[in-house]
Amino acid sequence: MFLDMGLAIDTYIQADRRTILGLKRYAENIIASLPAGLIVVDNAFKVRSVNRSFREMLGLKNREDVSGRELEDILPLPDLRQQAQAVLAGRMALHGIEAALGEKWLRLTITGIRLEEEGEEEDLLVVVEDITELKAQTVHIEQLAFYDPLTSLPNRSLLRDRVQRVLTYSTRHKNHGAILFIDLDNFKALNDTKGHNIGDLLLIEVAKRLQGCVRSSDTVARMGGDEFVVVLEELNEDILQAVAQAQDIGEKILASLNRPFNLQGFEHYCSASIGISLFRDNEIGMDDLFRHADTAMYQAKTSGRNTLRFFDPDMQASLEARATLEADLRHALSQQQFNLFYQIQVNAANHPIGAEALLRWRHPKRGLVSPLQFIPMAEDTGLILPIGFWVLETACAQIKAWEANPLACKLQLAVNVSARQFHQPNFVEQVREVLKKTGADPTRLKLELTESVVLDNINNTVAKMHELKEIGVRFSMDDFGTGYSSLSYLTQLPFDQLKIDWSFVHNIGIKTTDAVIVQTIIGMGNSLGMEVIAEGVENKEQRDFLECNGCHAYQGYLFSKPVPIEEFEALIRMPN
C-alpha cells in the first residue's frame, strides 16, 4: 500500500514539474517575442540576461553571452548608472527616459524586481523601446506645423510664439526688441519673367542670407510670398542705442541682399524694403507691432525702395540726428574739438590728492555734447581707439606740465580706459611710448578700468597690469560694485584703488541696502590693502558717512564739478 502511495506521489511530482517547466518555456517565449528589449540586471549592475528583441535592436549576436557584463557596456547611455542607482535606492520606477544612442532614439523604463521569492536583494528590469521612427514622425509633424516647407524658416504660427516669448522677456528685463518686416522689391517681375522655380530659388537664398545677418538668439521667419520677418531681442535699454542696433542689422540685411544671386546660372540683383517697429515692456500688442512694422515697410517702399524706415516718426528723426552726430564725431578729433576737463579728488583734510581727466566734446554748433551721447557712439564705431589714445597723450602731457607747479606736481591723474582700447595687443607699448614721448612720471598716471574690462580676459588683463605696474603706473577699479564684484578676482588683479560707484554714494541716507554695500566695499578694499575713493559725493552727510566707515578719499560736486584746466589750477590754489 505504501509502495503504491509513493509511486502515486512521484508520478504527481513529475507531472507538476513538467507543467512548471512548460509554463517557464511559455513565459520565456513570450518574453523573447516582446517587441521591447528587456535587460535583467543584478544590484551590482551586472547583466543577468537580455531578450531577443534587445539583441536585434542593438545588433548583438544571438549566441553572444552578455551575462556578467556591465550594464553600461551593452547599453552605453549617459546617466544610465545613476538612474539605475536611484531606482534601487528609492525602490521606485523611472518611466519615459529618452536618450540618443548613435542614430537611434530609445525610451527606457527602469524598475526593481525580485527574481527569488526569499531574496532580500532587488534586481533591475530595464525595458528598452526603439522610438527612432516615432521621433522622426514627430519632427516631421512639427516641421509641417511650424516651419515653411520651402525655406525651412519658422512660419507665421511659430513666429507669433517667438514674438510672444520676446515680449515676455522684454517685460521682465526692461530691454527693447524690434520687428523687421522685409519685402523683396520687384519680386513679381522675376516670377513673371523667369518662372516660379527661379523665384523659389531666390526665396531660399534670401532666407540663408537673412539668417547670416542676425544673431543665433534672433528669429528669421517667412510670412508667405516674398515677405520675411526678423525678430530682434535683447536690444539696449536706452531707446537711442536700441534704434541704432536695429538700424545696423537692417542695413546689414540690405547690403547682403544687394549682392548678386546666382540662380541656376542666371545672375539676379535683388533689393528689399524694410520696416522696423521697436517695442519694450509689452507697451503695445503683438498685432499692433506687426501692423506698425508693415506700415513702416510701405513707407520704405514709397521712399524709393532698397531702404529702411522706422514706424515712429520720432524714432526716424532721432536716427537721422544720430547719423549726423556720428558724421560730426568722425571729424571732431582732426578739428581739435575735444578737451579734457578735470574733477578734483581730495583727502579727508580736503587737500587735493589728484584729479580725474574727463573727455568733453565742444561741438561748433551744438556746444558741449554729453559724453553719454558720444562715448557709446565712439565705442560702436571704433573711434574710441584714436580718441582714447588722444586722451592718454593729453593727460600725460598735463602730468609733465604739472611738474613745474608746486601745488600740482604730486597730484595723480586718473584716465579712463575703454575695453577696446585696453584689449589692443599693443596697449602696454602704447602707454610706454606716450610716457616716453611726454616725459611724464609714470607714478602720477592712474588708469581706471571697469569690471567688464578686466573680466573679458582676466589672464591677459593681469599680465598687462603687471607690465605697467613694473614701470610705476597705478590702477583703479572704476564703478566698483555695479558689475560682478567678488573677492575671487579682486585678489588676482593688482589694483591700487577701488572707486565706489556714484549710484551707491547717491543713495546713502536713502536706501539702507546701498549704505551697507558702501560699508562692505570699504571694508573689502581696506582688507586687501587698497585705497578706497568714492565718486559722486554731493553733500556733507555723504562725506561724513564715508569717512566714519573708513573711506578717506572723495570726488564729487561737493568739492567741484569737472572744469577746464585753467579753472582746476585756480581751484587747487584756494585754501581747502
Q: What is the pLDDT of residue 116?
A: 57
Q: What is the pLDDT of residue 58?
A: 86
Query: How far is 43 from 88, CA to CA, in rounded Å?
Result: 8
Per the model's pLDDT, the better-predicted residue between 416 and 576 turns out to be: 416
With 0-12 / 13-18 / 19 or more C-beta atoms within 10 angstroms meaning exposed / middle / buried, residue 227 is middle
Query: How far is 410 from 134, CA to CA, in rounded Å?
Result: 77
Helix axis angle, 196-213 to 187-194, nearest 10°: 140
The yes-or-no verdict on residue 226 having pLDDT over 60 is yes
Q: What is the pLDDT of residue 193?
A: 86
Cβ 494 vs Cβ 516: under 8 Å: no
| DSSP H helical ranges for 96-155 | 132-146
In the chain, CATH 3.30.70.270 sits at 147-311
Q: Name the pLDDT band for 60 (thresholds 50, 70, 90).
A: confident
The string of pLDDT tens digits covering residues 491-512 is 888 999 999 999 899 988 888 8
Q: Name the pLDDT band for 465 (thresholds 50, 70, 90).
A: very high
pTM flag (> 0.75) = no
In the chain, CATH 3.20.20.450 sits at 332-573
The string of pLDDT tens digits covering residues 507-555 is 888 888 888 989 999 998 998 899 999 999 999 999 999 999 999 999 9
Per the model's pLDDT, the better-predicted residue between 559 and 316 turns out to be: 559
CATH number of 147-311: 3.30.70.270
Residue type, 560: S
Residue 341 C-beta-side C-alpha neighbours within 13 Å: 14
Residue 472 C-beta-side C-alpha neighbours within 13 Å: 10
Q: Which three cell numbers stand for residue 404?
A: 613745474
The string of pLDDT tens digits covering residues 423-462 is 999 999 999 999 999 999 999 999 999 887 887 788 899 9
With 0-12 / 13-18 / 19 or more C-beta atoms within 10 angstroms meaning exposed / middle / buried, residue 345 is buried
The yes-or-no verdict on residue 3 having pLDDT over 50 is no
Mean pLDDT on 326-342: 95
The yes-or-no verdict on residue 24 having pLDDT over 80 is no
Q: What is the pLDDT of residue 201?
A: 95
- Strands 219-224 and 261-263, bridge-based pairing: unpaired
Query: How far is 554 from 543, CA to CA, in rounded Å?
Result: 8
In the chain, CATH 3.30.450.20 sits at 34-135
- Strands 104-113 and 94-101, bridge-based pairing: antiparallel
The yes-or-no verdict on residue 44 having pLDDT over 80 is yes
> Which residues on neighbouring strands pair with residue 266, listed in sequence order?
263
Q: Name the pLDDT band for 487 (thresholds 50, 70, 90).
A: low
* 34-135: CATH topology: Beta-Lactamase (3.30.450)
The yes-or-no verdict on residue 15 having pLDDT over 90 is no
Q: Which CATH architecture has domain 332-573?
A: Alpha-Beta Barrel (3.20)
Q: What is the pLDDT of residue 5?
A: 47
Per the model's pLDDT, the better-predicted residue between 567 and 515 turns out to be: 567
The string of pLDDT tens digits covering residues 112-155 is 887 655 455 678 999 999 988 888 887 777 777 789 999 999 99
